[in-house]
């Protein structure tokens, strides 16, 4: 446990030096506040464009605060996930190419400790970014649209964060035996494949981690809809990714 804490402290220090602890939360905050601002000022934006048919804006109905907040969380499923995956793609691949992992393994440090520390560091960045982004989006949503249920918001953000953590864990796994760009591509591809499969067969695959996005939106808008199947499957997927990455590091299956 002491080795994991030492390696975790090292990872967080590197994240601070590379400004990851700053620019990733900033991007999430911008993504979060854009949704309520864009929704609220959409009539003015359409008027300024000058290409709006007469009478179109008269039927424009401002969505509720819960709906806008659910849409704000949904922004993190595309650009937000991309930012997180790009931030983790070289987590293991970069240290493999530089020989840092071999130096660590020469010491009384296990591959599990190395992977666990890196995963915990990425989790910390994710929690900070998503927490600040959701808080910023909630602030502007309440100011412009109306009050929110903060308990529903916390549950919805937690569910969405678990889905993002699945993508991060998958990228960390691929980073253990591939180069950074390939790891990022496969991580995004795996997440996209799960989302596509769930959208095509929602009733059959409602237990998969990809269902977390829909559950998160339902929790935000309706205050219920909690399903434990996707949560359990997401946790199992994350454990498999961390264990498999540790196994790859242990066997030193490194590309030339």
pLDDT category of residue 36 using cuts at 50, 70 and 90: very high
pLDDT of residue 108: 76
Of 224 and 237, more confident: 237
Of 128 and 58, more confident: 128
User: What is the pLDDT of the chain when averaged over all its residues?
Assistant: 87
**Is residue 90 predicted with pLDDT exceeding 80?**
yes
Within the chain, how many helices (H) and strands (E) appear?
12, 0
Residue pointed to by tokens 């998969």: 208
Per-residue pLDDT of 41-81, as tens digits, reads: 887 877 777 666 666 666 677 888 999 999 999 989 889 99
Of 58 and 166, more confident: 166
Average pLDDT over residues 130-153: 93
Farthest-apart Cα atoms in the chain, separation: 73
% of the chain beyond a pLDDT of 70:
92
**Is residue 155 predicted with pLDDT exceeding 70?**
yes
Torsion from C-alpha of 84, 90, 92, 96, nearest 10 degrees: 180
pLDDT of residue 42: 82
pLDDT category of residue 254 using cuts at 50, 70 and 90: very low
Of 52 and 237, more confident: 237
Per-residue pLDDT of 190-229, as tens digits, reads: 999 999 999 999 889 989 999 999 999 999 988 776 788 9
User: What is the Cα 93 distance to its own chain's centre?
Assistant: 20
Quick one: DSSP state of residue 242?
H
Average pLDDT over residues 80-104: 82
> Are the C-beta atoms of residues 105 and 251 closer than 8 Å to each other?
no
Average pLDDT over residues 79-91: 90
Closest CA to 148 of 63, 215, 221: 221
pLDDT of residue 255: 41
Of 111 and 225, more confident: 111
What distances in angstroms separate CA 61 from CA 43, 83, 145, 148, one per listed residue? Answer: 10, 33, 12, 19
**Is residue 253 predicted with pLDDT exceeding 60?**
no
């Amino acid at each position: 446990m002491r080795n994991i804490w030492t390696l975790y402290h090292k990872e967080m220090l590197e994240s601070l030096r590379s400004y990851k602890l700053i620019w990733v939360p900033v991007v999430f905050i911008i993504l979060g506040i854009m949704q309520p601002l864009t929704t609220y000022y959409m009539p003015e934006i359409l008027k300024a464009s000058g290409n709006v048919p007469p009478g179109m804006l008269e039927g424009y109905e401002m969505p509720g605060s819960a709906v806008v907040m659910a849409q704000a969380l949904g922004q993190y499923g595309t650009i937000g996930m991309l930012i997180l995956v790009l931030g983790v793609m070289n987590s293991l691949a970069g240290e493999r190419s530089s020989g840092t992992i071999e130096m660590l393994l020469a010491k009384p440090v296990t591959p599990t400790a190395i992977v666990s520390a890196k995963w915990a560091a990425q989790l910390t960045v994710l929690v900070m970014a998503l927490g600040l982004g959701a808080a910023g989006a909630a602030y502007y949503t309440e100011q412009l649209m109306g009050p929110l249920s903060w308990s529903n918001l916390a549950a919805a953000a937690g569910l969405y964060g678990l889905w993002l953590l699945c993508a991060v864990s998958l990228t960390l796994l691929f980073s253990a035996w591939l180069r950074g760009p390939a790891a990022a591509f496969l991580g995004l591809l795996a997440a996209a494949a799960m989302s596509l499969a769930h959208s095509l067969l929602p009733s059959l695959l409602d237990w998969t981690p990809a269902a977390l996005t829909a559950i998160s939106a339902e929790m935000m808008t309706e205050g219920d809809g909690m399903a434990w199947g996707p949560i359990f499957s997401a946790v199992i997927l994350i454990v498999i990714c961390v264990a498999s990455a540790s196994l790859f590091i242990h066997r030193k299956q490194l590309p030339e």
